[in-house]
Amino acid sequence: MNILIIGGTRFVGRHLVEAALERGHQVTLFHRGQTNPGLFPQVETILGDRETDLDKLAGRRWDAVIDTSGYLPRLVRLSAQALKDTVAQYVFISTVSVYADFDEVGIDEDYALATLEDETVEEITETTYGPLKVLCEKAVQEIYPASALILRPGLIAGPYDHTDRFTYWPVRVARGRDVLAPVGPDELTQFIHARDLADFAVKCIEEKTIGVFNLVGPQQPCPFGELLEICKQVSGSDANFIWASAEFIAENNVAPWSELPLWIPESEGRGFSRVSNASARAAGLEFKPTEEIVRDTLEWARMRPADHELRAGLKPEREAELLKLLSPKGGMP
């Protein structure tokens, strides 16, 4: 099949290109050339911005387009409209952040979506990111009413992750010694290997699958203790996990998700780490073992410069301060 990818040279996009090529498909990239412009020399690349250069795609036909970099509905509408007569299927990479809240366990694709009071807003913030993605989805669905595929991943793990949110845990555990961890080993989390996401997207294109799918894994939410033990086994470290209560975390102004990646307190949404993936599994989503996700991530992370500073997680000095506060209480305040 002939697949056009908008983006394709950063994190998820890289995995999508690799998955499509591995499955024998022809790929064309359309991007601005700002990130890893020479990454796939064997792939046709059209340099341009979707706001001003969509005419460069005129006269071409593709079986599907995968939009990896759509954040503003106005721009997504431009590309969807420009391609509607030349592309058979529009695949939009969205996010589970489209939901209005996470008050319920087992949120599926029919759950209420977030809204914006002013739909003309184009500033992307923590509060507008999800609602703007909702409007992007709607734009695609309006223009491709019978051939839109909307993928809503949760936290994405694996090599090339510029956010370092999953990467923090394998890297931190590999350093060993006392590791500050959230609440307790039974606390749940969800994540998906970027390669699983990419394989599913390409499979759906091959099978002309349409609809909306939550892409979260593993098959069942993963206990934090299990994830950290796997990180310890894979890295061979001597890590010792010190579990800090939600109260301790709050009292010491430790930021969920950014300083303690993959974790959100139940007070902010008990269903956040219990999103349903049943529809995607029924459509063929498969999950690599957590051991493989950790190993892939750690091997990639070790190829980065030695002085690379992780963009997520506790800084060593900050973690040391918190561990010192915990130590007289045996690790659980």
Q: What is the CATH number of the domain that holds 137?
A: 3.40.50.720
Shared domain for 139 and 9, answered yes or no, is yes
pLDDT at 201: 98
pLDDT at 55: 97
pLDDT at 327: 81
Amino acid at 162: H
Answer whether residue 159 is part of any domain. no
Instruction: Grade residue 331 by pLDDT with cuts at 50, 70 and 90.
Output: very low
| 8 Å CB contact between 154 and 275 | yes
Q: State the residue for tokens 């301790």.
A: 248
Answer whether residue 193 is part of any domain. no
* pLDDT at 74 exceeding the cut of 60: yes
Shared domain for 319 and 228, answered yes or no, is yes
The tokens describing 105, both together, are 């366990």
Percent of the chain past pLDDT 70, that is, above it, reads 98
Instruction: Grade residue 246 by pLDDT with cuts at 50, 70 and 90.
Output: very high
- Give the CA diameter of the chain: 70
Answer whether residue 210 is part of any domain. no
Answer whether residue 161 is part of any domain. no
Backbone angles phi, psi at 332, to 5 degrees: -140, 100
Mean pLDDT of 143-159: 98
Instruction: Grade residue 333 by pLDDT with cuts at 50, 70 and 90.
Output: very low
- Residue 162, CA atoms < 13 Å, CB-side half-sphere: 8
Shared domain for 120 and 238, answered yes or no, is no
Shared domain for 125 and 81, answered yes or no, is yes
CA 86 to centroid of chain Cα atoms: 29
CA distance 301 to 81: 39
Shared domain for 38 and 135, answered yes or no, is yes
Q: What is the CATH number of the domain that holds 173?
A: 3.90.25
| Boundary (domain end) residue, out of 93, 127, 153 | 153
Query: What is the extent of the structural domain holding 48?
Result: 2-153
Shared domain for 140 and 235, answered yes or no, is no
DSSP3 helix / strand / coil % (the chain, rounded to 5): 35, 20, 45
Shared domain for 262 and 233, answered yes or no, is yes
Instruction: Grade residue 206 by pLDDT with cuts at 50, 70 and 90.
Output: very high
* Mean of per-residue pLDDT scores for the chain: 96
| 8 Å CB contact between 158 and 194 | yes
Shared domain for 139 and 22, answered yes or no, is yes
Helices 290-301 + 168-175 axis angle, to 10:
80
Mean pLDDT of 127-136: 98
Shared domain for 184 and 304, answered yes or no, is yes
Answer whether residue 195 is part of any domain. no
Mean pLDDT of 246-251: 96
Answer whether residue 216 is part of any domain. no
pLDDT tens-digit map of 261-317: 999 999 899 999 999 999 999 999 999 999 999 999 999 999 999 899 999 999 999
Shared domain for 109 and 180, answered yes or no, is no
Shared domain for 13 and 82, answered yes or no, is yes
Answer whether residue 92 is part of any domain. yes
Per the structure, how many domains does the chain have?
Answer: 2
The tokens describing 311, both together, are 């963009």
Answer whether residue 198 is part of any domain. no
| DSSP β-bridge partners for residue 267 | none
* pLDDT at 234 exceeding the cut of 90: yes
Shared domain for 76 and 123, answered yes or no, is yes
